[in-house]
Structure 1
Amino acid sequence: MKKAFVYLFALLLVACNVGKQNETTGFVTINGHDLIKPNGEKLLIQGTNLGNWLNPEGYMFGFGRTNSAWMIDLMMKEAVGPDATAKFWQQFKDNYVTRKDIDFIAHQGANTIRLPFNYKLFTDEDYMGQTGKKDGYERIDSVITWCKANGLYLILDMHDCPGGQTGDNIDDGHGYPWLFESEQSQQLFCKIWREIAYRYRGETTILGYELMNEPIAHYFENRYELYQKLQPVYKKAVEAIRQVDRNHIILLGGAHWNSFFWMLNDTTYDDKLMYTCHRYGGPATKEAITHYINFRDSVNRPMYMGEFGHNTMEWQRDFVKVLKENNIGYTFWPYKKVDESCMMGIKRPEGWDSIVVKYAETSRNTYQEWREARPNQAQFRQLLKQFAENCRIENCKPQAEYIQSMGMGKLKN
């Protein structure tokens, strides 16, 4: 009887230790449609995207035709040369997102930040003024530290994948989703994610890894053939991550701008998958997102609105209400850009449009056109320097009405 009692006590002690271990792992987990925080409370994602910081897009600088990162970089090199361009990118990255930005986002009521990045930050390819060893991990590590200090979760989003996953300017590629037809690009894609996952395998501030942004646009005649290739590529990346990290959630976006999910209905290969949708425009009603809700219900996994915004304040308020009522978390796009329709507006330097934007919009298809269109280099360099300075939060304008439309509280100082 005594032996049986000792044995039973030992079993209870082991069970208690396992329970404590589960409580202290600190990672966000999945329970059906819900995300669950380590303390057992439900987490409904609410926050913003740090877009344009590590994945520049032309419109956030005020550009139209010069709309991807490689185009912006080339345009600046044509105007002022590679050294001045590299100097600008360094200043831009140093100023665009700082501890004060993350503090501000947290003080407005956010609980999560989505961090878009370009895969080139983890290769030796020329990107944002650097070749060889990049500062990708240094930048992410900084954001993790700042988020941790504010109790924020972080989603890592590979916005620009090897070969290009979308076929438009947003993937910083060359107009076609080559990733899905290139074994070499897929190997690099998986390799980078495995390395990222290994580095952050124990980091509880990271909510999860979003494998790719808005795969496979609708422009291509063979798009349905490409859609069928999405899940196999996802499975490869998930397998690579799980070799080193069993802790973190993995987020999968649907094809056609994160809108089609029918090709992703197999959830059996991993127990920590969730899904992410995007929506810009259309009616701010439940009916407009019924297909997202139906898919979520069919697979019994969480659905999260990773991007939306750039609309009227009324539309945004109404859509936030719809998302909350239907248990869909969200992060607005973007946090910061020129002008408005963001949390923090960047002021254009005087002369920015007449010199920098004008050059960016000019035809520059030959060396002769470069020479003939090139503006005054001293003025151009000064404007780049001023733009980088204007990116600092101290020089930006908080958009109070926009922040309130995000479902957050009144602007706090």
Structure 2
Amino acid sequence: MSTIKLWALALLALGTSACARPRTATADFIRTDGVNLVDSRGNRFEIRGTNLGHWLNPEGYIFQFPKSANSAHRINEGLCQLVGPAYMEHFWRTFRERYITREDIEYIASTGATTVRLPFHYKLFTDEEYLGMHAPEEGFALIDRVVAWCREAGLRIILDMHDCPGGQTGDNIDDSYGYPWLFRSPEMQERFIAVWRSIASRYADEPVILGYDLMNEPIAHYFEDKEELNAALQPLMIRTAQAIREVDPHHILILAGAQWNTNFKVYDNWTFDDNLMFTCHIYKCPPTEGSLKGFMAFRDRSQRPMYMGETGENTDEWVESFRKALDGANIGWTFWTYKRLDAERSFTSVAMPEGWQTICDFLAADRSEYELIRKARPDQAQCRAILDAYLENCRFVNCRRNAGYISALGLRP
């Protein structure tokens, strides 16, 4: 048996051995019904919520770091050069404990939101090292915890693989190496399928999970071979769906369009599974229904629901107008994103620590040689204190609630 197959079987065994909720005949799974979502009683369900971005897949711009530290591995490398790997293991461990907590989930629910989307890095569920984590049980423990909080708060959760093996986008958002290698590598594709099967095996009986967003924003638009890459997307989605259905008959499978979730011409088969939903993303556009017509046309042709997994990053006026357009078009939404550093375009805002620019200046410096790292490094004790201040500021109790933004979403601040 090949190493890949053994690796996949090990993941599967891990997932099935984990504690799952017992199956009940009345479990309230959300499912598709034509272009709508419904609960177990046939009542229509509307996705209204936010993304828990940055928590399990740190992004440089949310830290307000320079582009030289714009993805998880680049952030970690730069900060390890600044304050050392031992401190960074402490930092990431504390960050995961504090950035999203029960209090954050309770607050989101209190606004009237129905759903959160949880972006994650695939490495959370493997034995590959990831920001101080080394075993899949650590990743599953994090998901178990937030699922329990959502259950208590009455929220649904969408699991979103934001960073796929090999990279599916080819840019910083998937923590990859500048190209969507996933679509050129059978080994990476087998790993992708194995991780999803492991996740599905563990959570097959958990109705709090609305569905699995299989792949965030595949295939950026600027690759000359994008049509060849696009052609590989649907076959991989079909294979992944088949593997998931071997262990999980319940959850909605959510499929993204190519080119940042905008191109749905890559799909001509939506009958390979009877519980599919498609997901679009769009940011810089007129906040009107006209910007949604292409997505609506595909939705109506496929007779599958369409869901706006990400949008926003704009003024409160824009957010309100576009939210109303989405509601009018029968497209559910989770705006990006819940918490950011020193920003108003989010549910909550983390206060900027004093001296944060010192961290940014080091990350922006030329660090291409070890001598340059030594010359650029400021006082380490000072930098640790600045990072400690961030860890304190990101606690829910210390964050500012952005009432205008939340009201623009039609929710209660």
TM-score range, shorter chain: over 0.9
Alignment correspondent of 2:251: 248
Distance 1:309 1:29 in 2: 26
The residue aligned with 1:349 is: 353
Correspondence 1:337 to 2:337: no
CA contact (8 A) 2:122 2:161 kept: yes
1:11 is matched with which residue? none
CA contact (8 A) 1:95 1:392 kept: yes
Instruction: Say how many residue pairs are matched.
Output: 389
Q: Could you tell me which of 59, 62, 65 is aligned with 1:63? A: 65
Q: Which residue of 2 aligns with 1:84?
A: 87
| Secondary structure class of the residue paired with 1:277 | strand
Partner of 1:229: 232
* Structure 1 position 36 matched with structure 2 position 38: yes
Q: CA deviation at 1:286?
A: 1.2
Offset from partner CA, 1:46-101 (integer Å, 9 cap, x none): 00000000000001111121100000000111011110010000110100000000
Tell me, yes or no, if the aligned pair for 2:312 and 2:336 is still in contact at 8 Å: yes
- Aligned letter for 2:307? Y
Listed one character per residue, the Cα deviations across residues 18-39 of structure 1 (whole Å, up to 9, x for unaligned) are: xxx9971311111111000122
- Within-5 A mapping of 1:128-147: 128-133=131-136, 135-147=138-150
* Contact 1:110-1:152 at 8 Å conserved across structures: yes
Name 2:3's counterpart in structure 1.
Answer: none
Structure of larger gyration radius: 1
Q: Corresponding residue for 1:177?
A: 180
Partner of 1:383: 386
- Amino acid aligned to 1:405: A
The match for 1:299 among 302, 321, 329 is: 302
Structure 1 partner of 2:14? none
Tell me how far 1:131 sits from its aligned partner: 2.4
Counterpart code for 1:346: V
Counterpart in the other structure of 1:162: 165
Q: Secondary structure at the match of 1:306?
A: strand
Equivalence for 2:103: 100
Q: State the partner residue of 2:9.
A: none
TM-score, normalised relative to structure 2: 0.92
- In structure 1, distance between residues paired with 2:101 and 2:166: 30
Match of 1:25 in 2: 27
The residue number in structure 2 matching 1:12 is none
C-alpha separation between the residues in 1 aligned to 2:48 and 2:382? 41
Match of 1:74 among 77, 94, 107: 77
Normalised by the length of structure 1, the TM-score is 0.92
Determine the C-alpha separation between the residues in 2 that align with 1:391 and 1:338: 8
Counterpart mapping for 1:42-57 below 5 A? 42-57=44-59
Give the C-alpha shift of residue 133 in structure 1: 4.7
- The residue type equivalent to 2:32 in the other structure is I
The match for 1:287 is 290
Q: Which is further off, 297-306 or 37-46?
A: 37-46
- Tell me the equivalent position of 2:329: 326
Point out the more displaced range, 380-389 or 213-222: 380-389
Cα distance between partner residues in 2 of 1:373 and 1:99: 39
Please, what is the CA RMSD of the aligned residues? 1.2
1:276–1:304 CA contact under 8 A, matched in 2: yes
The 3-state SS of whatever aligns with 1:213 is: coil
Q: What SS class does the counterpart of residue 324 from structure 2 fall into?
A: helix
* SS of the residue 1:102 aligns to: helix
What CA distance in whole angstroms lies between the structure 1 residues aligned with 2:218 and 2:102?
A: 31
- Give SS of 1:38's match: coil
Give the conservation status (yes or no) of the 8 Å contact 2:125–2:135: no
**What's 1:200 paired with?**
203
d(CA) in 2 for partners of 1:35, 1:397:
33
Q: Distance in 1 between matches of 2:137 and 2:395?
A: 22
Q: Which one-letter code corresponds to 2:100 in the other structure?
A: V
Residues 256-309 of structure 1 deviation map (CA, whole Å, 9 limit, x = unaligned): 000000111201210011000001011011111111000000000000000011
Q: Percent identity?
A: 49
Q: How has the CA–CA distance of structure 1 residues 373 and 134 changed in structure 2, closer, same or farther, with 3 Å as cutoff? A: farther
Query: What amino acid sits opposite 1:295 in the alignment?
Result: F
Instruction: Tell me the equivalent position of 1:13.
Output: none
Paired residue for 1:16? none
Query: 5+ residue gaps in structure 1?
Result: 1-20
* 1:134, distance to aligned residue in structure 2 (A): 5.2
Moved over 3 A (4+): none
| Alpha-carbon offset, residue 400 of structure 1 | 0.4
1:123 equivalent in structure 2: 126
* 1: CA distance, partners of 2:141 / 2:25: 30
How far the C-alpha of 1:123 sits from its partner, in A, is 1.3
Preserved contact between residue 53 and residue 96 of structure 1 (Cα < 8 Å): yes
